[in-house]
Amino acid sequence: MAKASPQFTCTECGAAHKKWAGKCDACGAWNSVVEEAPLTTGPASKTLGAAKGRRIELSTLATDEAPPPRTRSGMIEFDRVLGGGLVPASAILVGGDPGIGKSTLLLQAVANFARSGLKCLYISGEEASAQVRMRAGRLGLSEAPVQLGAETNLRNILTTLEAERPDLVVIDSIQTMWADMVEAAPGSVSQVRAAAHELVTFAKTRGVSVILVGHVTKEGQIAGPRVVEHMVDTVLYFEGERGHQFRILRAVKNRFGPASEIGVFEMTGAGLAEVANPSALFLSERGQAAPGSAVFAGIEGTRPVLTEIQALVAPSSLASPRRTVVGLDSGRVSTILAVLESRCGIPFTGLDVFLNVAGGMKVLEPAADLALAAALLSAREDVALPPDLVIFGEISLSAALRPVGQAENRLKEAEKLGFSQAIAPQGTKVEGGAGMRLRKLPDLVTFVGDMFGAG
């Protein structure tokens, strides 16, 4: 048998390379290609040869089977992000920055699943059992029937799982796991990939649900190759700003429910508390009507969430002025600045622009375009928008306003929170009601004239 040649893999996109390179051809990332021990699984020869395999049993799409029973943890926000509870034999990846609260969230979730009757195991590779027990005590979860283990050796973990046959196991974290058949340090691409593969395969064949915890790199990706994200059924990100106590659990991939669903939590002294009404929370810091503030009526997953977009525009001393954007897509912001400049004749040259979503929320919907433009204009003109106004709509490159989905839900949520007027694109199918005055505008130029008496 020919000796397997070393293999190089990009840690960002998982692409395989024949030799080391400073830049990955596949995704363009720099310094991301690392050497990996060659995979030993798979056929030894290049072709499958003449030996016959077994015929696969094929079936039709129709089924008499009932959908798998989901188990609810009772943490409404967590269950919703999963798509309505935990599906048996599913593999879930929970990613997030170190210290954001992943271990806290999963300890609370696993305790709740155990209380609803699942046999649960929590394997910590980062903390000693005593540390986890101490945290459980502080969170008031000591009584929950969760089995706790501190281990990093994958072989020992799989042997334990085989003997215990739990319904759910949490692995905290996948970067600390170490498979002895792979000659690489824990946390390396090959180790993370091998450990995830073994655990996910175990989940599927033995009907055990696994939740893998993964740390996120500075670039915002789960450390190790993207491949782990492809292996699992559901990928959740736990995010939030360090200075804020709000935490958002976001589904970025879900084979068993809607993606982009969010759950909102608040970090308190006694662990994570669920936030049932996120709009009220995100708007709670809003004071008097101030220039540069616009309220966006957004949709996150299946539910409406109102957020405040804040802008500051100030004269710049730099040759290329600052564009600092937090919580919004910076590409989108550049596009809207260009549309304002070329279609509406409102230049931002020589001005620093700072944009932010209040409360540490991330808003990535194109429907936020109009609210974003409103915040920018309000800051630039130093004119406050009416405090009871919500805005939504997408802006096209021609400055036309495009209608967006779920207008009715957006308006209902706004009305519930005491807003009484809204601005939306012309084609919006809904009409305003008694408590909500809705104005529909065809393009950004009309909007500028309407709001600021210019353009």
Q: In sequence order, what DSSP letters do the residues of 252-275 get, joined into one string?
A: EEETTS-TT-EEEEEEETTEEEE-
133 binds ligand TYD per the rule CB under 6 A: no
Amino acid in position 321: P
Residue 99, binding choice from ligand TYD, Mg ion, none, Cβ under 5 to 8 Å by partner class? ligand TYD
Q: Is 214 annotated as a binding residue?
A: no
Q: Nearest Cα to 89, choosing from 202, 192, 194?
A: 202
Residue 96, binding choice from Mg ion, ligand TYD, none, Cβ under 5 to 8 Å by partner class? ligand TYD
Closest CB to ligand TYD among residues 134, 454: 134
Tell me the CA distances in angstroms from 447 to 107, 236, 393, 410, one per residue in order. Answer: 49, 37, 11, 19
Binding string, 92-111, against ligand TYD, x = CB under 6 A?
----x-xxxxxxx-------
Shortest spacing between CB 102 and Mg ion, in angstroms: 5
Among 91-99, 163-171, 178-186, 348-356, the segment contacting ligand TYD (CB under 6 A): 91-99
Report H helices in 385-443: 407-416
For residues 159-175, one letter each, b for 16 or more C-beta atoms within 10 angstroms of the residue's C-beta and e for the rest, the string is: ebbeeeebbbbbbbbbb
In the sheet where 389-391 sits, what is the strand order? Answer: 323-326, 351-357, 303-315, 293-300, 389-391, 421-425, 437-441
Contact at 8 Å (CB) between 275 and 368? Answer: no
Using DSSP bridges, classify how beta strands 234-239 and 246-254 pair: parallel, antiparallel or unpaired: antiparallel
Shortest spacing between CB 173 and ligand TYD, in angstroms: 8
Residue 271, binding choice from ligand TYD, Mg ion, none, Cβ under 5 to 8 Å by partner class? ligand TYD
Q: Is 378 annotated as a binding residue?
A: no
Q: Is 258 annotated as a binding residue?
A: no
Shortest spacing between CB 259 and ligand TYD, in angstroms: 22
Shortest spacing between CB 144 and ligand TYD, in angstroms: 15
Q: Is 101 annotated as a binding residue?
A: yes
Q: In sequence order, what DSSP letters do the residues of 148-180 get, joined into one string?
A: EEE--BHHHHHHHHHHH--SEEEEE-GGG-B-T
Residues between 258 and 317 with contacts to ligand TYD, criterion CB under 6 A: 267, 269-271
Shortest spacing between CB 153 and ligand TYD, in angstroms: 21
Residue 98, binding choice from ligand TYD, Mg ion, none, Cβ under 5 to 8 Å by partner class? ligand TYD
Residues between 226 and 255 with contacts to ligand TYD, criterion CB under 6 A: none
Contact positions vs ligand TYD (CB under 6 A): 96, 98-104, 135, 138-139, 267, 269-271
